[in-house]
């Protein structure tokens, strides 16, 4: 299939996502527990924009002509990888599928997709839309199953040329190991994060409090980009904590199909128990529980929005990825100190800085060891901008033009001319 036709199919798939947006958002809410309006306005919007972005790229992927010796012509071709595996997570099942599928198809690859076993519904529905659009049979293959069986088979398979995974660092290591033991397939990993959110004394406090709140509680806290280490300069620390507690206490927890709901249930019992265990560790290790800290009784897997103050770097809630509605707030005295502390983690996915001082913002953006740094905003993600992590937050990049390199091989072609150029 030629490149222009691939782009047309991706545009048609985006059209069908717009047509069936309510159905897909409903399935996503049923599967994950996230509020319906979030699924409709954020997840589906991101899917549609990503498909259209890569539809536009399909016939614009090109190599370069390279000047070499006079008697040779040298150029590069960007060719499809071949068969790509995609293993998607349960927190953003549809969005993460599209982040992988759109650039892979745009570049001319075929796909084997394994959705998370907890949340397969939207992936299977997308399969019906792909068939309706008219993608050739076998181009996209969706294989529901468990990680140790279906996921491991994809990771080890000698006929799969590349694998893209979003999930935990622990599983990411297993996938990379499997890739190395099989055919050295290319691997893109988007893994965990323990993301610093730095609030300087000169920041717009209302903006910083709101962004830090949404940054950690969005999607029930089940987000790799969660602002799970909030560093606040000591001059404004008491006021920041006070306002953060007020925000948390007002956050509405309940039925995700209720338009007023801001926070639904956690994904499953295992995650629910892990979050509560980490909350208990915060209490035992001396953090001050400002609000929340327990489950909502008789309501299933719901946890009250939780805020801890007086958190120190050695506490588990400051070191481990909680993946739940828990906000640890720490204080700092100087920029040098907060840079050192923010970087003292094995992760490096995202970071945020709130300040009105441009020099300070750029200094921090340069010093922070993170794949993405937001200044005076949070979770500002766009199909055009690359996303990925430093250190143990992953390898490679998704989104933007950068993602095209993850799904193509570069071939160099050199031709000897019969005579030198004049």
- Rounded Cα distance, 338 and 237, in Å: 14
- In this structure, the number of other CB atoms found within 10 A of the CB of residue 269 comes to 10
100 within 8 A of 89, measured Cβ to Cβ: no
Among the listed residues 337, 287, 309, 292, the one whose alpha carbon sits nearest the alpha carbon of residue 236: 309
Are the C-beta atoms of 186 and 219 separated by less than 8 Å? no
Structure tokens at 391: 């250190």
Give catalytic status of residue 280 as yes or no: no
Q: Are 308 and 317 in contact (CB under 8 A)?
A: yes
Q: Measuring CA to CA, which residue among 72, 109, 69, 115 is closest to residue 95?
A: 115
C-alpha 410/C-alpha 134 separation (Å) is 29
Residue 190 is a catalytic residue: yes
Measured between alpha carbons, how far is 213 from 246 in angstroms, rounded to an integer? 10
- Annotated active-site residue in 224, 233, 262, 398: 224
Q: Which residues sit opposite 197 in a β-bridge?
A: 230, 352
Active-site pick, 28, 106, 190, 398: 190
- Spatial CA neighbour of 10 closest among 90, 92, 109, 87: 109
Three-class SS of residue 251? coil
Rounded-to-integer distance, Cα 325 and Cα 221, Å: 4
Q: What single DSSP character describes residue 326?
A: E
From residue 219, alpha-carbon distances to 30, 122, 215, 226, 265 in Å are 14, 17, 9, 9, 9
Paired tokens of 202: 């000169």
Find, among 229, 234, 244, the residue nearest to 350 by Cα: 229
Distances from the Cα of 306 to the Cαs of 289, 302, 309, in angstroms? 8, 12, 10
Q: Is 33 left (phi over 0), alpha (psi -120 to 50) or beta?
A: left
Please say whether the beta carbons of 269 and 283 come within 8 A: no
Q: How many C-beta atoms lie closer than 10 Å to residue 379's C-beta?
A: 18
Residues with a catalytic annotation lie at 190, 224
């Amino acid at each position: 299939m030629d490149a222009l036709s691939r782009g047309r199919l991706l545009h048609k798939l985006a059209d069908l996502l717009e047509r069936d947006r309510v159905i897909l958002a409903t399935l996503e809410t049923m599967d994950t527990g996230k509020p319906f309006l979030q699924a409709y306005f954020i997840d589906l919007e991101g899917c549609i924009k990503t498909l259209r972005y890569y539809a536009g790229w399909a016939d614009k992927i090109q190599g370069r002509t390279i000047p070499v010796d006079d008697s040779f012509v040298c150029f590069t071709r960007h060719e499809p990888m071949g068969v790509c595996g995609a293993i998607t997570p349960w927190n953003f099942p549809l969005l993460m599928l599209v982040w992988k599928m759109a650039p892979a198809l745009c570049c001319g690859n075929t796909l084997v997709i394994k959705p998370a076993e907890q949340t397969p519904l939207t992936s299977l529905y997308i399969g019906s839309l792909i068939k309706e659009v008219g993608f050739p049979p076998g181009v996209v293959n969706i294989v529901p199953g468990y990680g140790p069986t279906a996921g491991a088979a994809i990771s080890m398979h000698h006929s799969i040329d590349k694998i893209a995974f979003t999930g935990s660092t622990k599983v990411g290591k297993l996938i990379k190991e499997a890739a190395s033991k099989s055919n050295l397939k290319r691997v893109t990993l988007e893994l965990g994060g323990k993301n610093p959110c730095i609030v300087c004394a000169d920041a717009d406090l209302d903006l910083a409090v709101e962004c830090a709140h949404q940054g950690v509680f969005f999607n029930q806290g089940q987000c790799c980009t969660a602002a799970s280490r909030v560093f606040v300069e000591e001059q404004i620390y008491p006021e920041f904590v006070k306002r953060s507690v007020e925000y948390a206490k007002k956050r509405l927890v309940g039925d995700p199909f209720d338009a007023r709901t801001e926070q639904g249930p956690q994904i499953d019992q295992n995650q629910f128990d892990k979050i509560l265990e980490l909350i208990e560790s915060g209490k035992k290790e001396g953090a001050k529980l400002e609000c929340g800290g327990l489950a909502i009784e008789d309501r299933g897997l719901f946890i009250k929005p939780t805020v801890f103050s007086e958190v120190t770097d050695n506490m588990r809630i400051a070191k481990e990825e909680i993946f739940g509605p828990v906000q640890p707030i720490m204080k700092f005295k100087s920029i040098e100190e907060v840079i050192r502390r923010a970087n003292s983690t094995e992760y490096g996915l995202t970071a945020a800085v709130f300040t009105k001082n441009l020099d300070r913002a750029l200094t921090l953006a340069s010093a922070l060891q993170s794949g993405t740094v937001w200044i005076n905003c949070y979770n500002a993600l766009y199909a055009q901008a690359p996303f990925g992590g430093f250190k143990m937050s992953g390898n490679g990049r998704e989104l933007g033009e950068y993602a095209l390199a993850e799904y193509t091989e570069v071939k160099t072609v050199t031709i000897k001319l019969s005579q030198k150029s004049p």
